[in-house]
Amino acid sequence: MFKKVLIANRGEIAIRIMRTCREMGIRTVAVYSEADRYARHVREADEVYFIGAAPAAHSYLRIETILAVARKSGAEAIHPGYGFLSENAAFVDACEQAGIVFIGPSAEAMRLMGSKIAAKRLTQSVGAPTVPGYAGESQDNTVLLKEAERIGFPLLIKASAGGGGKGMREVHQPAPFLEQLAGARREAQAAFGDETVFLEKLIIRPRHVEIQILGDRYGNMIHLCERECSIQRRHQKIVEESPSPILTPALRAEMGEAAVRIAQAAGYVNAGTMEFILDSDKRFYFLEMNTRLQVEHPVTELVTGFDLVRQQLLIAAGEKLAITQAQVSQRGHAIEVRIYAEDPEHAFLPSTGTVSTFVEPEGPGVRVDSGIESSDEISQYYDPMIAKLIVYGENRQAAIARLQRGLEQCIIFGVKTNIALLHAIATHPAFQGGLTHTGFLDEHHLLTPETGQAAPPDAALLAAACYELSNRQIQSATDNPWQNLGPWRMTGEGYAFTYTYHEQAYRVALRSQNGQQDMWECKIDARAVGNVAYKHGKQSFILLTFGPMQVHTNVQQIQSAIHVNLNGHTYILGRRQPPDVDIATYGGNRLNTQKALTAPMAGTIVKVQIHDGEEVAAQQVLVILSAMKMEHTITATHDGRVRRVHYQEGAVVKGGAVIVEME
C-alpha cells in the first residue's frame, strides 16, 4: 500500500479522502490556492503545499505544479477527488510519465468514456439501451436540423464533452432549434474547449438512476447497486438516495449487469458510475459514465457497508478486488442532500461570504461530509457547496425522518443556503411517497421563493429580543448601568425594554420581574405571552424557557438584522432599516426601480440582441451573459423601449452592473 498520497482537490472531498487515508496508515499531502490558505482541508492534512492564485486555472488545474509537489513530497499516488483534474486524461498521462499512480482509470478508458458520443456507441455495441437520438459524425447545421425533425420534439441538444449540465439545451419546437444549437455550442466551447454536440429525445418525467461499479486490473468487475438522483435543479442533483424507491430486484440486477458489461467493454479500472434514465414505463437508457468518485458516493457506502475510497486505494495499489458480486447487498436506506450557499430569492445564485456559524447535525444515522467550520469562507472561486448531509435509517421512512431532523439541526449563518428548499422536499408528500422524477421541483413549485417572509412565530421574536437583551447585559456588566443602559427604562416595577422588528411591524416588550434580570414578562404588541427566561449557550444557541417548556433557537445579528433559526427555518428580523442597505448589497437596486436591468453576477457579455432605441416585448431576451461557465439571460421585465445598452459583446462586467436601461 502507498505510504503517502497527494490529494489534488479541496473542500469536503479532500477531507473525506484524508479520513480513509488516515485509517489505512497513509500520510496525506494537501495542496492549496491563495483563497484556501486557511481552509479546513489544509488544516487537516499531514503536509501542505501552496500551488498558486485563487482561480482554479492558476492552482488546482495546474498539472505541472501538482506533479512537482508530488515529486517533492514523495507522494506515490494522487487522488483527484471529483471536479478539477479528476476527468482530465492529459493529467492521467502526465502522472504516468512522472511515475506517479493516478487513483482512477487509465487515460485511455477516461478518454473513451469522457466523450458522451463514444460512450454511447460503445454501449450500443454491447447491446445495452441508449436514448434514441443522433450521435453521428456530422456537426452540420442542416444535418442536425433534419435529424432533429426525424427524432421529433421535444429533444435535448447535448455537448459530447459535457458535464454539470453545461452545453445542454431543451428544444420544444423546430423554430428555435438553430438558435439553441448556437447557444449550446458556445457554452460547450467555453466550458470544455469542444463544441461537438449530439441530439437526444427528451424523456418525459424520467428518473435518474445510476449504478456504482468497481473494477480491478485483473478484469474483475462488480456493481454496488444503484443510487437514485432524480431530484435535480437545472439538471444538477441535489438529493440522492439508495435504494431507488422503484427498482425491483430484477430491474436492479438487469441494470447492474448492463453497467458491468459497458465498463468491461471500456477496459475500465477503479470506481466509476454508469448513469441511466428510467422512463415512466421503467425502461432504462444509458446516459453517460462518470469516470471518478461521485459526490453522492456516501449513500452507497452506507447501504452496502463498503468504503469506496478504500476500495479505490486498494485497486490503484494493484490489489485484487476482494469483494464478489454475491457479497454486495443493500441494507436499510440512505439519503444525501447537498447543502449549498445559494440565494433562493435570487435564482439560487451562489451566496458567497463568511459562514459565521455552522452547527453540524449529529446523532444516530447522521453523517456530515463538510469542508468548512464556523468562520470559514465560501469564496466565489469554487463550487459553493457547504456540506453534504447523509442520513441512514432501517427503511426509507426512517431515513426521511432523520433527514428532517438533521436539516432542522443544521445551523448556518452568514451566507444564504438552500436548506429551506431541502426541508420542503423532505417534508413533501410526493417525496415521501417516492414519486420522484427530474422535474419534481418544478412540478411542485418548490423553486419559487415564498413571496415575502412567513410571519415570524412568537418564539422567534422572543428569541431575537432575548438575544439583544443578553448582548446588552454583557456589554453593560462592567460599566455604570445608568450610562450604558441606553434605551432601558427603570420603571416602578423594574427594567423594561421594547424592541421593534420588521419596520415596526412587531413590538416585543420585556419587563424584568422584581428588578431581577433572570425572568422577563413578555408582550408581543399588546398581547401578553407569558414569562420567559433564557440562557445563551455555545455559539449562537439560545434556550428559551417558559416554566418547564423549552424552545431551542439559534440567533445571530448580521448587519442590521437579527437572524433567528427555529425548527430549521431562518427568520430575518430587520431592526433599523438604513435606507441604502439594499442598494449597498445588490448594487443597482435603486436603478432597478428606474427600469435598469442588471447582471445577476460577474461575467462576460456573450450576446447583445438589441440596440439603443429598440422596442422590446416583456420576457424578450435582450442580452446573454456567461458566468461560471453557464449562460444567463437578461430579459425585459415589461414591454417598452431600450434607452441604452451599456456594454458590448465581449465586455467583462461586475455583478449588479447595469447592462440595459429601459425608457
Q: Which residues are catalytic?
A: 292
Q: Least distance to ligand ADP from the beta carbon of 303, Å?
A: 20
449 touching ligand ADP, by CB under 6 A? no
Contact pick of 85, 128, 148, 203 for ligand ADP (by CB under 6 A): 203
Nearer to ligand ADP, 206 or 568 (CB): 206
Nearer to ligand ADP, 122 or 642 (CB): 122
User: 125 φ, ψ to 5°?
Assistant: -70, -25
Stretch that binds ligand ADP, among 11-19, 196-204, 327-335, 482-490 (CB under 6 A): 196-204
Contact pick of 277, 337, 390, 544 for ligand ADP (by CB under 6 A): 277
Nearer to ligand ADP, 263 or 411 (CB): 263
Three-state secondary structure call for residue 416: coil
145 touching ligand ADP, by CB under 6 A? no
Q: Please tell me the distance from the alpha carbon of residue 511 to that of residue 489, in angstroms, as a whole number.
A: 9
Contact pick of 81, 206, 350, 365 for ligand ADP (by CB under 6 A): 206
156 touching ligand ADP, by CB under 6 A? yes
Nearer to ligand ADP, 5 or 199 (CB): 199
Q: Is the dihedral of CA 466, 471, 472, 476 positive or negative?
A: positive
Contact pick of 21, 30, 221, 287 for ligand ADP (by CB under 6 A): 287
Q: Are 447 and 439 in contact (CB under 8 A)?
A: no
User: 591 φ, ψ to 5°?
Assistant: -65, -30
**Alpha-carbon distances, residue 565 vs 369, 534, 596 (angstroms):** 22, 15, 35
Q: Are 607 and 624 in contact (CB under 8 A)?
A: yes
Q: Least distance to ligand ADP from the beta carbon of 446, Å?
A: 16
Q: Least distance to ligand ADP from the beta carbon of 236, Å?
A: 7
| Helix extents (H) in 127-234 | 141-151, 177-192
Asked whether the bond before 55 is cis by omega within 30 degrees of 0, the reply is no
Stretch that binds ligand ADP, among 31-39, 92-100, 161-169, 218-226 (CB under 6 A): 161-169
464 touching ligand ADP, by CB under 6 A? no
Q: Least distance to ligand ADP from the beta carbon of 173, Å?
A: 17
439 touching ligand ADP, by CB under 6 A? no
Element (H, E) at 229: strand 221-233
Amino acid at 111: R
Nearer to ligand ADP, 19 or 205 (CB): 205
Q: Are 340 and 386 in contact (CB under 8 A)?
A: yes
Q: Are 592 and 638 in contact (CB under 8 A)?
A: no
List residues bridging with 2 in a β-sheet.
none
Positions 112 through 131 that interact with ligand ADP (CB under 6 A): 131
Contact pick of 24, 182, 202, 246 for ligand ADP (by CB under 6 A): 202
233 touching ligand ADP, by CB under 6 A? no
Q: Please tell me the distance from the alpha carbon of residue 374 to that of residue 456, in angstroms, as a whole number.
A: 26
Q: Least distance to ligand ADP from the beta carbon of 133, Å?
A: 7
Nearer to ligand ADP, 106 or 294 (CB): 294
Q: Please tell me the distance from the alpha carbon of residue 323 to that of residue 187, in angstroms, as a whole number.
A: 42
Contact pick of 244, 438, 556, 565 for ligand ADP (by CB under 6 A): 438
163 touching ligand ADP, by CB under 6 A? yes
| Separation of CA 223 from chain center | 26
Nearer to ligand ADP, 21 or 255 (CB): 255
Supply the DSSP symbol for 456.
Answer: P
200 touching ligand ADP, by CB under 6 A? yes
DSSP percent split of the chain into helix, strand, coil, nearest 5: 30, 35, 40
Q: Least distance to ligand ADP from the beta carbon of 238, Å?
A: 11
Q: Least distance to ligand ADP from the beta carbon of 273, Å?
A: 10
Contact pick of 162, 384, 393, 456 for ligand ADP (by CB under 6 A): 162
Q: Please tell me the distance from the alpha carbon of residue 621 to that of residue 594, in angstroms, as a whole number.
A: 19
Dihedral in degrees, nearest 10, Cα atoms 103, 109, 115, 116: -90
Three-state secondary structure call for residue 399: helix
List residues bridging with 270 in a β-sheet.
215
Grid coordinates 444538477 are at which residue? 236
Nearer to ligand ADP, 288 or 631 (CB): 288
| Separation of CA 149 from chain center | 36
Supply the DSSP symbol for 341.
Answer: B
Nearer to ligand ADP, 167 or 656 (CB): 167
Stretch that binds ligand ADP, among 22-30, 155-163, 311-319, 461-469 (CB under 6 A): 155-163
Grid coordinates 469542508 are at which residue? 371
Contact pick of 275, 301, 369, 631 for ligand ADP (by CB under 6 A): 275
What are the DSSP E strand ranges found in 537-653?
Answer: 541-546, 549-558, 561-566, 569-574, 596-598, 603-608, 615-616, 621-627, 630-635, 640-645, 652-653
232 touching ligand ADP, by CB under 6 A? yes
Contact pick of 27, 62, 169, 208 for ligand ADP (by CB under 6 A): 208
Maximum Cα–Cα distance for the chain, whole Å? 89
The 541-546 sheet, strands edge to edge: 489-491, 494-501, 506-512, 520-524, 527-536, 541-546, 549-558, 561-566, 569-574
Binding to ligand ADP by CB under 6 A, coded x per residue (else -) over 235-254, reads: x-------------------
Q: Least distance to ligand ADP from the beta carbon of 290, Å?
A: 8
Closest CA to 91 of 75, 114, 107, 74: 107
Q: Least distance to ligand ADP from the beta carbon of 294, Å?
A: 11
Count other Cβ atoms within 10 Å, centred on residue 105: 28
Number of shown-chain residues binding ligand ADP (CB under 6 A):
19
Contact pick of 55, 165, 332, 574 for ligand ADP (by CB under 6 A): 165
Contact pick of 216, 288, 343, 383 for ligand ADP (by CB under 6 A): 288
Q: Least distance to ligand ADP from the beta carbon of 158, Å?
A: 6
C-alpha cell at 40: 479546513
Q: Are 194 and 115 in contact (CB under 8 A)?
A: no
Stretch that binds ligand ADP, among 157-165, 255-263, 458-466, 627-635 (CB under 6 A): 157-165
Contact pick of 4, 24, 65, 164 for ligand ADP (by CB under 6 A): 164
Which residue ranges make up the site for ligand ADP (CB under 6 A)? 131, 156, 162-165, 168, 200, 202-203, 206, 208, 232, 235, 275, 277, 287-288, 438
